[in-house]
Structure 1
């Protein structure tokens, strides 16, 4: 598919991310869909990463749908300032209060302006969408964006600080 969200970004080291909830190229399970969709629970998936580049001082996690019919995709989740010693987020860490996030980590508002994970909700009949869950290894302990910044601004700010990227892309569709 077109619209690769990483095509024009600088190349960085690649490391691994896995999940007990989602798998590369496979459909998202119902609980990773929006609560407005039958069976949806807005539960962020479990994510576990390894092999981050030397010099990593923090991580950020983002979830993005480049196929949303907006002209700019849709940001479902953004978490910043995850300490370098953390290598896993549990299922549901992206809830409204971020109770499953490590101390010091913050959720930025997603494209619905909610500081939480919002699940997939592609328009019925729009075809399959790709959902990129990305762990960004950064060379700073704090990325320094305002807690109300957009995920797009976060992405721009991370440009000069990203040492590596771990990507897990699942799909979703409502027929």
Structure 2
């Protein structure tokens, strides 16, 4: 009986073991291209969000959220480059360029939250010169709620905390960039 109960303890983790996130524009473990580099702070890239696709979400998923975070940024808590939440459960991909600040290219009902750049929408990679290789962690969360209700001015950390609190599972990958 104990062995049976121990096996059941692993079921929640296994329920989303097949949940994956991929990108044809920024493959896992690759270096981000100039298209995904910010325009500003001395960077001169395309500031274009990469195409993202996910599959295998856990049962009960009501919506999704996406967070792009650089934990190597030389500021407390790292740097949030893109946050999107309330992505409808029927959506399993975002096309290249979905992160425009107007929100015109995210799915209907989805919200792009404030980033560390101080605006909404995708903000590309732009680490300080000579600071070394930075990790850009792309994470999609399967949420147990249809709508997260967050203040329009919620900080990136507040948004991520709410997203994690409503998460059924997550999938992600890391890409890199340095100048």
TM over 0.5: yes
1:159 alignment partner in structure 2: 164
**Which stretches in structure 2 are left out of the alignment for 5+ residues?**
1-11
* C-alpha distance in structure 1 between counterparts of 2:76 and 2:157, whole Å: 13
Residue 149 of structure 2: which of 128, 144, 147 is its match? Answer: 144
**Which stretches in structure 1 are left out of the alignment for 5+ residues?**
1-10
2:140 alignment partner in structure 1: 135
**Does 2:35 match 1:31?**
yes
Structure with the greater alpha carbon radius of gyration: 2
For residues 58-94 of structure 1, what are the alpha-carbon distances to aligned partners after superposition, in whole Å with 9 as ceiling and x for unaligned? 0001100000011220000101100000000011101
For residues 89-139 of structure 1, what are the alpha-carbon distances to aligned partners after superposition, in whole Å with 9 as ceiling and x for unaligned? 011101121221000001111012111110000111100000011111000
> Is 1:106–1:147's contact at 8 Å kept on the other side of the alignment?
no
Q: How many residues align?
A: 163
RMSD between aligned alpha carbons? 1.3
Extract structure 1 runs of 4+ deviating beyond 2 A.
Answer: 11-14
Does the residue aligned with 1:158 lie in a helix, a strand or coil? Answer: helix
**Which of the pair is proportionally richer in helix?**
2
Does the residue aligned with 1:159 lie in a helix, a strand or coil? Answer: helix
TM-score (norm. length: structure 2): 0.87
TM-score (norm. length: structure 1): 0.89
* C-alpha distance in structure 2 between counterparts of 1:48 and 1:159, whole Å: 20
Alignment of 1:21-100 (within 5 A): 21-36=25-40, 37-38=43-44, 40-100=45-105
For residues 21-55 of structure 1, what are the alpha-carbon distances to aligned partners after superposition, in whole Å with 9 as ceiling and x for unaligned? 001111001110001323x1111110000000000
